[in-house]
Structure 1
Amino acid sequence: MLSSDKPIDCNFGVIAIVGMGGLGKTTLAWEVDNDKELKRLKFEKKAWISISNNFDIMRTSKSVLESINHSFSGLNSSNKVQDKLKEEIRGRKFLLVLDLVWNENYSLWETFKSSFKDCARGSKIIVTTRFEKVALTMRSFETHKLNGLLDEECWNLFLEHAPSIGMDIDALGKFRESVVKKCGGLPLAAKTLDGLLHYEQRVNAWENILNSKLWDSSSRNDILPVLRLSYLHLPPHLKRCFAHCAVFPKDYEIDEKKLELLWLGEDIIQQSRDLSSLSNVTILKLENCNNCGSFPSLWMLSSLKDLTIEGMKRLEKIDVEMPLKPLEVLRFQNLQEWQCWNTKRENEDVETFPLLRELSIVKCPKLTRALPYCLPSLERLFIQKCSELTASIPSVPSLCRLEINDCKEVVCRSTISTEFQ
């Protein structure tokens, strides 16, 4: 696939993998991307980007740039991002995978691909998509159309992990036609249905699942019915775990430890020996959890010293119900809906942030409530672009640097050496 030397008009060629959801397009692209043969082809730069139905040129270009050079993660201008991407790609042979592309707008594609025009010859872009029109839009020189499994292949895949006890082979065979029909030739459906039925030993349980009305609920943009059924048949505690993943935006690469912390904070899971290492976490950054509407509980992080909360679009209120004694650095950035920071506690004699040295609040335009009343160890305070914030800052004997920009009002009640900007 990647070694093809078919004549093309530019230095890179587009290879499209086309097929309906569940056929294995992403799996095939992953196999190609990890093939040992790539070493022989000597690609200097590689990146894998998930696109889905929102083909945003700025976001996609920035994701490519950050994948091949992490030092450019702070760029926010579309022109700067594309210029830097051109520099990184110029004269180099690259392999880019664009997974799950829906864009059929030719002008968007032309603008995006302009960053790659000066790459080395032999570069490749692999595109996975459900629709052949996307492949035509992106002018693919090679298109691979994936077909569904034959009935026999689908049944054999299902049987690979079929229950070995509790149901004889004759009883199992009675469901063959129904299973094959429900899977529709999709490997993902066959594997998921197998997992759903694997531990069901009762014939009536199989009948209930295979006759569910949810099988008729699919549409062009919908998830596979078998995935819905798989979720609905989870135990309640696992449903909560999966439902909580909705706080992350689509195609977000979820960090395992971050998700673990959120589950712990919401009391969805309990601490065990395997999770005892969480008490050793000293730095935590929660970024772009767009559906998260509440501040996570951090009681498990008894050693946390550095905390950053950034880009939570639905976060309106922050309640700190217990003291964060070890915390030394606290940053709030780009919280567009944050209005209130409540640090009042039942026992006013116990300080919430006794060791906090640095506090930064940037781009929180709706924040109006005051800052914590007592910050005895605060040395640096940065407040920028918080146009509604009126804050009283008493009891800060250690403060030696104060930077304020684009805020409504800040009242200082202690004697400090300050710098205003």
Structure 2
Amino acid sequence: MSIIREAALSAFFEVLFEMLTSSDVLKIFKQERLHADLKKWKTMLLKIRSVLDDAEEKQMTSKLVKFWLDELEDLAYDADDILDECATEAVRRKVNAEAATSKVRKFIPTYCAGFNPSSVIFDANMRSKIEEIDARLQRIVTEMNGLGLIENTGRRTTTTRSWVPTTSLVNEGHVYGRDEDKKAIVKLLLSRELGDAQLSVISTLGMGGLGKTTLAQLVYNDVVVSRYFDLKAWACVSDDFDIVRVTKVILKSLIAPEIYDVNDLNLLQEKLFGRKFLFILDDVWNEDYDNWTKLRSPFEFGALGSKIIVTTRNHGVSSTIGTTPTYELKVLSNNDCWRIFTQHALGATSFTMHPELEEIGRKILCRCKGSPLAAKVLGGLLRTTHNHDEWKNVLHSKIWDIPEEKSNILSILKLSYKYLSSRLKRCSHIVHYSQRIMNLRKKSSSCYGGQKTLILKGCSHLTMLPKKFGNLVNLRHLDILDVNSIKEMPVGIEELKSLQTLSNFFVGKDTGSKIGDLMNLEFLQGRLCISNLENVLDVENARKANLNGKKSLDALVMKWEVDDLQDGTIAVDVLNMLKPHRTVKTLFIEGYAGVNFPMWLRDPSFPNMVELRVDRCGKCVSLPAVGQLPILKYLIITRMAKVQRLGPEFYGKGCLKSFQSLETLRFEDMQEWQDWIPCKVDYEEFPCLHELSISQCPKL
């Protein structure tokens, strides 16, 4: 059990207190003469919350504390269920009361109007549940007193800081180890090789904390770059890929908003016409090709040689929007990390004033593994103390030894998190999913049967979610966003039979979540991304997923993690079993290890398919025969290392009227592709094609 779980528990307590003071809950408790219980709950929960800081520290070394926290977590969710029922009952009674005063109800005898069997049943059940919670709460407080937990004294103080979008500003004096990277990007910006393109997109890729934004800032402020381009603009995109918002941000930086109306997006096209520009789109997560083309459309009116730099952690983004080879950022050298660490720990360039700390400082730095963010976080953590013992405590913190965490950077950030106040822990992004208990209380006014939404954001281990996850039988929407070191889906996912939208599904290893868990989710609609398909070893389990029966899925993404040792035969069988319903509109296959694509992708059995993307299928020797798909508009083929030839098989059966609706065709990083043989028939090929892009295909 990790600190993240305790953070979620702290945040959960905030929601419980909010519910305990809500007017609906207070009304029910008062009507049922249970307000004394409510007061008792508040008192005991306050006592428990005051020791959570100490408990989260001691649970790593004390099994008793760990067991106590497990029991507390169960109780917290059960108490929340009861408060949720009370809020729902309050709304139901309000609806009934309004109905009783309506014109229709005046014909009903008064002796009937006052009697409601539902209320009687609710009263009996609620009293029983509250008595059970009372007993469990009392037992937990008693056990807490025997664990020697210390109350939070409030000595840790800090200020809250909301998320701030990145800007183009940078202190170059505090940037280390990125000189060569800067030269490489500047060279790409000024390169004549790219200068003939109307618009080139350079993607810089790397994991969080490597310095992608910093590198973009250095390039953006370079004197030579500034002279080369007529216009420059910076936009922080993040996970809110709002096309209008991003366009307005760029427009504001190019014009005087007090003179022009920034809501007139046509101004951007006028402003860019015939001028060479440089735009930075920082922290892009959205890999939807259609959204990208919409955002890009006004940019295409600039002069030849215009450039866009995109920073992203997402390989999918890089392959979707980049028009040049991706520039992948590497880790820093130990020396450069040491300079960053020293700057933030001591506010100096060396340990001259604190030589006694240098040796242990270098040992601490080994935890950074070349990450500038890690060096900065650790340095900032130690900046407030120059005591050797305090530095030693950080070096030997048990957080480094938590076995479930393999990410060194995450451990460092958790160590920094450990020293936050309880209030800031509850506000931490890493427990975002606990906000309003993950939006579970988005109920309709009809009380029962209303839609529910669960949002999980920034979670590193989904298995740490509520143990009673499968009990959320009315859950309609499950969004899993911005997740890292994922292992498997939450226990009970297969029980959510009412689920309509599921953004991501991760196939677990061994005894983890199985793809067959999708079997009962027959009402899924919209977009579904299935990742870690290399973990599917049982073909029968893939059949159980029954994707072919999910008629409302519009977009399907299927991802295998690339592994040279992966059994291609199993991958072929698995993909054969994962045929989507014929109504699917978008299909993306990534990392598939088979030699050939399945038969279901070779016939015109998908009359609604508009977009197909195939990426990193490194063992395939041929492309899918999709030329007969009637309304296919976008076809993106990237990183197909074994394909040498495109011939009649690519166009489909008989080569008749191939690709009749295709508008965009892109080939990228096809290192062995040598021949492209036309159909050689009387019918015109690609009659609607607007864009053809071929890059990194040296043998063609």
What is the TM-score with the length of structure 2 in the denominator? 0.30
Q: Which of the pair is proportionally richer in strand?
A: 1
Q: Which has the larger radius of gyration?
A: 2
Q: Which of the pair is proportionally richer in helix?
A: 2
Q: State the structure with bigger RCO (CA 8 A, min sep 6), 1 or 2.
A: 1
